[in-house]
Amino acid sequence: EPEVTQTPSHQVTQMGQEVILRCVPISNHLYFYWYRQILGQKVEFLVSFYNNEISEKSEIFDDQFSVERPDGSNFTLKIRSTKLEDSAMYFCASSVSGGLQETQYFGPGTRLLVL
Amino acid sequence: AQKITQTQPGMFVQEKEAVTLDCTYDTSDPSYGLFWYKQPSSGEMIFLIYQGSYDQQNATEGRYSLNFQKARKSANLVISASQLGDSAMYFCAMREGLRGYSSASKIIFGSGTRLSIRP
């Protein structure tokens, strides 16, 4: 069964460093998302992406964050200068369409630790 | 104001019993979708079940069913015949608003309920 994959599964970085989190959405999906979950807290929406542009972003998604679809398969989240509070699990998700009924399928997540 | 409220931070249930996980939601939009996801200790988010605001019937998927009470704005998940593998965090979530078919509307999650199944 097709699934969303994410790499790396874990990343440890120093505060101020740039990180790139990678995702390969399900191949026929057109809508892509990033969410994050700080340890012990709820899952929070970061950004949605369709047709090579951001569709919606939350207030969390500030200038330190960017997303890109560099080729036909990958979808990346870049954090330019990481802060301690960026430590979280980051989930990529994809869906066939952006319609209300469309299920978003989540990847296994990347656990980011900023020291 | 909370969009999704899950009032049970944790629950313990005996194996093979049925369990109901509560979820209430708040929206003024007539069109919305409700989801339940399971998050085992390994961390991944697993889609379980979906209910649309206009669906007449309660959604069912195997041992999972959604008790949808629209007037009360509740969407409780019922797991029948619980199994040890059901031990996980369960999130209720909502997608609202129609900004056009091409929009990629976000999902809003509740704070989750940690379900533990006792053997």
A25 with A34: CB under 8 angstroms? no
Residue B105 has its nearest CB partner, among A41, A51, A98, at: A98
Pairing status of strand B113-118 against strand B74-79 = unpaired
Chain B residues with CB under 8 Å of a chain A CB are 31-33, 35, 37, 42-47, 50, 52, 91, 93, 95-96, 98, 101-112
Higher-confidence position of B59 and A2: B59
Judging contacts by C-beta atoms under 8 Å, the chain A residues touching residue B31 are: 100
Residue B1 pLDDT > 70? no
Outline where chain A has alpha helix (H).
none
B59 with B70: CB under 8 angstroms? no
Q: What is the pLDDT of residue B102?
A: 47
The residue behind tokens 């970085």 is A13
Q: How far is A43 from chain B (nearest CA, A)?
A: 6
A43 with A37: CB under 8 angstroms? yes
Higher-confidence position of B101 and A17: A17
**B109·A44 Cβ contact <8 A:** yes
pLDDT, tens digit, 9 for 90 and up, residues B32-53: 899 999 999 988 899 999 999 8
Q: What is the mean pLDDT of residues A7-16?
A: 96
pLDDT, tens digit, 9 for 90 and up, residues B85-108: 999 999 999 987 655 444 567 889
**B109·A43 Cβ contact <8 A:** yes
Q: Residue B66, Cα to own-chain centre: how many angstroms?
A: 7
Residue A100 has its nearest CB partner, among B44, B98, B102, at: B98
B8 with B115: CB under 8 angstroms? no
**A106·B37 Cβ contact <8 A:** yes
Strand partners, B96: B32
Judging contacts by C-beta atoms under 8 Å, the chain B residues touching residue A44 are: 109
**A45·B103 Cβ contact <8 A:** no
B53 with B31: CB under 8 angstroms? yes
The most confident of the ranges A15-24, A34-43, B50-59, B97-106 is A15-24
Interface test with B, best of A29, A104, A113 (most B CBs within 10 A): A104
